[in-house]
Amino acid sequence: MISDVRSNFRPGKSLAVIVQATPQHAAAIHAIENEAFSDPWSKSSILYEINEPGSVFLVAVNENQNAIGYASMRHVLDEGHISNIAVSASYKNQGVGSLLMESLVNEARRLKITALTLEVRESNKAAISLYKKYGFVQKGVRRDFYSYPNEDGIVMWKEHLI
């Protein structure tokens, strides 16, 4: 279970708290998903992932308990696959993505996951920079992995977590 992790991402104004996502967060997560991605998950897919036993689904909430970002990961045995990390546009560049990534990595360690992987659009330089900050390295390319528009996916790994 996620502990009460806090981060001052808006100095003097508010705190973000990372909590386990619940079905009550699904509508807000879906809104962030639609804002962030050109090919977003459906609300039913989000609900499925929130309730899936092999899934870790975290949400960043502000002082009003409004969802401002989320991160999801699937794990099988000792490997984890990060599916999505997204932050509401009004909270970008304020440390929320870092807080979510740090929380996912900590949760992976708690679950005894030894390696994490993810795909990222090759044009998403901000996300690539965030992942590199947390020790992910490029290990491959998936040609035409993304749609709307078509784009290659960079495959990144973080190994030796524990």
Task: Catalogue the active-site residues.
Answer: 119, 131
- 3-class SS string, the chain: CCCCEEEEEECCCEEEEEEECCHHHHHHHHHHHHHHCCCCCCHHHHHHHHHCCCEEEEEEECCCCCEEEEEEEEEECCEEEEEEEEECHHHCCCCHHHHHHHHHHHHHHHCCCCEEEEEEECCCHHHHHHHHHCCCEEEEEEEEEECCCCEEEEEEEEECCC
